[in-house]
Amino acid sequence: MSELQKRQIQLEVLRYNPETDTAPRYQTYSVPCLNEWVVLDALNYVKDHIDPTLSYRWSCHMAVCGSCGMMVNGEPKLACKAFIHEYGDQIKVEPMANFPIERDLVTTVEDFITKLASVKPYLIPKSDQPISAGEFKQTPAELKKFKQYTLCINCMLCYAACPQYGLVPEFLGPAAISMAHRYNQDSRDGGRDQRQEVIATDEGVWECSFVGACSEVCPKHVDPAGALQQVKVASTIDWYKEHLMPWVKK
């Protein structure tokens, strides 16, 4: 890098090694950056040239894998989409909020994985048919109903932003419920009743207070807050049909 291209930033990183530390601490690194760098590039510079003990997750560097989620100046961000030129000369980087710290910027995400699995995030065919019967066809209009929700990359930034998940860890959370909604809206799927048993509960969609922070931080514009409100409406209609109009089929 030429001197004209360099920009010196102070990268304040939360560090925690459970084997040696009694509590998390901050460590500041002076990093020469190119203005077009992202925060992940700065972390990689620290890892390669200053402190090889720094731990964090990343994979694609293309905002596709969702691995590099962390707090950048207090906001849930993908480190590979947080451009240095959008920040001042001092940047604070912390692990994702609302998740236990495993080491440094690495968080434990088993709770999310368990909740995601509980909503059966896969197609459950309405009926079995042999392969010889051909594919399950779908119109463009049917695809459009759920396509937006297929863009989720499971980065969990919505969980880091969700105040309700921070207060009530039992809450299924935005991504899991949005994924359930994605399959519930799929014309090829027949598993809605099974998913509703999980998501239409106090720990499910009814725990959502509609702050909307999940949609604000979503890097793929999935709009999980909108999905949750649609689930609330559909679940309310289910309740009315079951209790007030039992003669009406779902």
pLDDT value, residue 110: 97
Q: Which residues contact 8 (CB under 8 A, 6 or more apart)?
A: 30, 31, 32, 33, 89
Q: State how far the Cα of 161 lies from the Cα of 97, in Å rounded to an integer.
A: 7
Superfamily of domain 6-107: Beta-grasp domain (3.10.20.30)
Residue 5 confidence (pLDDT) = 62
Which two three-digit tokens encode residue 229? 């409100």
Half-sphere exposure in the Cβ direction for 177 (13 Å, CA): 33
- pLDDT tens per residue, range 85-136: 999 999 999 999 999 999 999 999 999 999 999 999 999 998 888 888 888 8
pLDDT at residue 199 in the model? 97
Residue 247: per-residue pLDDT: 76
Q: What are the start-end ranges of the E strands in the chain?
A: 6-15, 25-34, 69-72, 75-78, 90-94, 101-103, 106-107
pTM score of the predicted model: 0.92
Domain ranges of the chain: 6-107, 110-243
Give the separation between CA 27 and CA 136, rounded to whole angstroms: 55
pLDDT digits (tens, 9 = 90+) for 219-239: 999 999 999 999 999 999 998
Give every CB contact of residue 100 below 8 A, 6+ residues apart in sequence.
107, 108
Buried b (16+ CB within 10 A) or exposed e, 19-38: eeeeeeeeeebebebeeebb
How big is the CA angle at 244 (ends 240 and 249), to the nearest 5 degrees? 70
Task: Give φ, ψ of 38 to 5 degrees.
Answer: -110, 170
| Max Cα distance, the chain (Å) | 76
Tokens of 83: 């451009």
Cβ partners under 8 Å of residue 147, min gap 6? none
Report d(CA 180, CA 145) in Å as an integer.
13
User: For the domain bounded by 110-243, which CATH number is listed?
Assistant: 1.10.1060.10
